[in-house]
Chains A and B, each alone.
Chain A
Amino acid sequence: MPALIEVHDVHKVYRTGDVEVHALRGVSLSVEPGEFIAIMGSSGSGKSTLMNLLGCLDRPTDGSYRLAGQEVAYMSRDELAEIRNEVLGFVFQSFNLLARTSALENVELPLVYRGVGSRERERRAMKALEQVGLGDRIDHTPAQLSGGQQQRVAIARAIVGEPKVILADEPTGNLDSKTSIEVMALFQDLGRAGITIVVVTHEPDIAEFASRVVVVRDGLILSDHRQDPKKAA
C-alpha cells in the first residue's frame, strides 16, 4: 500500500527580481495514514514552504508529490482547490474564523464549497463541534469565544469535511500553554481516529506530542525521527 503523503525530491525556487531563492533543495518525505508529524525549523528554514506544498497551496518547481494516490504537484488552481476541500483540513495560528459569523456557520464553510445541502451541512457541523467539545457554543461568534475555543472551532472546521490530513501551521502560537496542551490533546484524539496530522511549530514543547519529528534546515530535511509521543490528556 502506498503512503498517504509521498514527497519525492521536491525543489522550490522563488524568484524575486534577479535573485533566486532556493527554499527547498530536494526534500523527500513519506507519511503513513494516522501519523502525527511535527515539522520543526527556524524561520527561513523552508518549513513554511514545505507546509504550503503539503497543503496544496503552492506547486513545486521540480519533483513529485503524491497525495492519497494522486499526483498533485502540477495540478491547476481549480483542481488543487478541490483536493484541498476534499482531502485536507487547515488549522492556522490566527484561527482565521469569519468575524460576526456563528461558530456553526464557520464550521459549515468547507461543506458550502463542496455543495452539501444545508440540512446535511448543519448536521455534520454540529457533530464536528461536539467532537471538539463546543456543542453548546454553536451560536457564538468568534468575538464571544476565548482563543482556545476559537482554535477548537477552527479544528472543527478542519475535520468537518472528513479529511485524510490535517495541516496545522503553528496552531498554538497564539495560545497559552494550558490551552496549547488541550489543543494538542485534541489532535492526538484525531490521530487515534485515523487522521494524519501535520503540525508546523518552532516550539520543542509542542513537538513532544507528535509521534514523529521532522527538522528542516536550509531547504533540506536535517533529521527525521520517530518518538514516543508525550500524552497530552
Chain B
Amino acid sequence: MGLLVTILVALRAVLRNKMRSFLTTLGIIIGVAAVIAMMAIGAGAKAQVEAAFAAMGTNLLILMPGSTTSGGSFGGFGSMPTLTWDDLTAIRNDVPTVKAAAPQLRSNQSIVSEELNWTTGVVGTSPEYFDIRSWPMGQGQAWTQADVDAGSKVVILGATVVERLFGKNTNPVGQTVRIGKTPFSVVAVAAKKGQSPNGQDYDDTAFIPFTTFAQRIQGGLGKFLSGTVFIQATAPNTTNRAMEDVKALLRDRHHIAQGADDDFSIRNLSEIAGAQQQGTETMTTLLASVAMVSLIVGGIGIMNIMLVSVTERTREIGLRMAIGAKPRTVLVQFLVEALVLSIAGGLMGVALGVGAATWIAGKFHWPMQIQVDVITVSVAFSALVGLVFGIYPAWRASRLDPIDALRYE
C-alpha cells in the first residue's frame, strides 16, 4: 500500500471524527501558537532594543565629569566640572583606540520661531557628534568645524522641534529662530531618530556649535567642559580597550593617586545594550520553554486519544488485517494518523500564533518579528511529538491478533 494511500486513509479517519480530532490537537495548537507568538514578540523586542541602542550610536562610550563620592557626599555624575577642554583634545589625539570624540553641553532653552515657541534641550557640540551618533541630516547641511571655530549662530533642529515651531512637513532651513535673545539661522534638520531605550524622544532637541553654546548660554568658554563627552571607539571589539585607555589617560592627567577614586565616570553603551538584550532573550527562552511544555502535554493528549482510537477501532483493525493488511501497514496507518493530527495542529497553531502576535503587537504597539525558522522548527517539533507519542498506540494496534480483534465487542 502506497504512502499516499496510507495518508488518505489516515486523513479520512481523522476527518470522520472532526470535533474529537480538533480537541485532540488543541494542545498542539496552543503550544505552537504560544511558541510562535512568544518568539515573534521576543524577537521584535530584541530588534527594538538593538535599534534603539544603534540609534544612540555605535561603539559608544559616554564620559561624564564628577565622581560617586566627592568630599564624602554623593555628588552624582556630572555634578562637578572636572573635565577640561584639554582633556578632550588629549582623548582625541593620544588614544589610538578612539576614533572620534565630541562634547555634549546641554541646557533646556526656549526656542522661538515667528509665531511659536518650544522649550527643548539645546546641545552644544562639534561636527564629529553626528558621526558618533550615526545621525544624518534630513534636510540641509550640518554646520562645520569652521562654524565651531567662528562661533557662528547656526542651529540644527530635531524633527520634533521643527514640528512644534513650524508645523508638520515643513522645511525650516534658511529661517531664523531665537534661542534666548540670540537669533540663530536654521541650517539643517536632523533625520528623525525616534525613541531612546528609556522612552525619551531623541528628536526633541537642537544642536549648535559648542563655542556658540559656551558664549551665548554658559557665559564664556572656560577651562572646564561642563557637560559630557561622547567617545566612539574604532571598532566594537576595541570599545572596552578604549574605555581603559581613556580612564588611564584621564587619571594621569588629573594626577589621581593609585587607589583613589576617579573624578569622572565612563559608561559603555554596548554593555548596557548587551545586558538589556540578554534580559529579553532570557525572558523569551523562558516563555518558549513553557510553550514547549504545552507541546509535550499536547503530545500526551494525542497519545491518549490514539490509544482510545485503537481500542475503539479494534474490530476495524481486525477486519483490515483479515482482508490483507500487514502488521506494518496497520502500524504505519496509525502512525500517520497521529502525524496528521499533530502536523495539522502545528499548522493551525502557526496560523493562530501569527494572528495572536499580530493582534497583540497592534493592540499594545509592541514590535514583533515573524521568524520563518521558528515556524519551521515548531511544525517540525509538533510532527516529532506526533511521531513519539503516536508510536506506542500504533505499535499496540499492529500487535493485535486479528481473531481477537474481530471478536472484540
Contacts and interface: CB of A to CB of B under 8 A. Distances in A.
Contacts of B95: none
Contacts, number: 59
A92 B402 CA distance: 13
B316 A81 contact: no
A99 B17 CA distance: 11
Contact of A100 (B16, B320, B328): B16
B326 A84 contact: no
Given A112-B5, A113-B329, A84 B12 contact: no
Interface in B30-86: none
Nearest to A58: B403
Contact of A77 (B16, B316, B318, B327): B327
B322 interface: yes
Interface string B367-380: 00000000000000
A82 interface: yes
A199 B270 CA distance: 86
Interface string A101-114: 10000000110111
Interface residues of B, number: 23
Nearest to B398: A77
B1 A112 contact: yes
Interface in B374-409: 402-403, 406
B322 A78 contact: no
B9 interface: yes
A36 interface: no
B199 interface: no
A209 interface: no
Contacts of B5: 112
Contacts of A78: 326-328
B259 interface: no
A153 to B, nearest CB: 13
Contacts of B1: 112-113, 115
Contacts of B319: 92, 96, 98
Contacts of A96: 315-316, 318-319, 406
A124 interface: no
Nearest to B402: A57
Contacts of B12: 101
Interface in A111-160: 112-115, 157
A81 B326 contact: yes
A31 to B, nearest CB: 20
A90 interface: yes
Contacts of A81: 321, 324-327
Contacts of B406: 57, 92, 96
Contacts of B146: none
A136 to B, nearest CB: 24
Contact of A57 (B320, B329, B403): B403
A57 B2 contact: no
Given A57-B403, A100-B16, A101-B12, A113 B327 contact: no
A45 interface: no
B257 interface: no
B323 interface: yes
A55 interface: yes
B2 A115 contact: yes
B168 to A, nearest CB: 64
Given A92-B406, A101-B12, A115-B1, A55 B323 contact: no
11 contacts: A52-B403, A55-B322, A81-B321, A81-B326, A84-B323, A94-B315, A96-B315, A96-B319, A113-B323, A115-B2, A157-B323
Closest 7 CB pairs of A and B: A85-B324, A113-B324, A96-B319, A81-B326, A110-B323, A78-B326, A57-B402
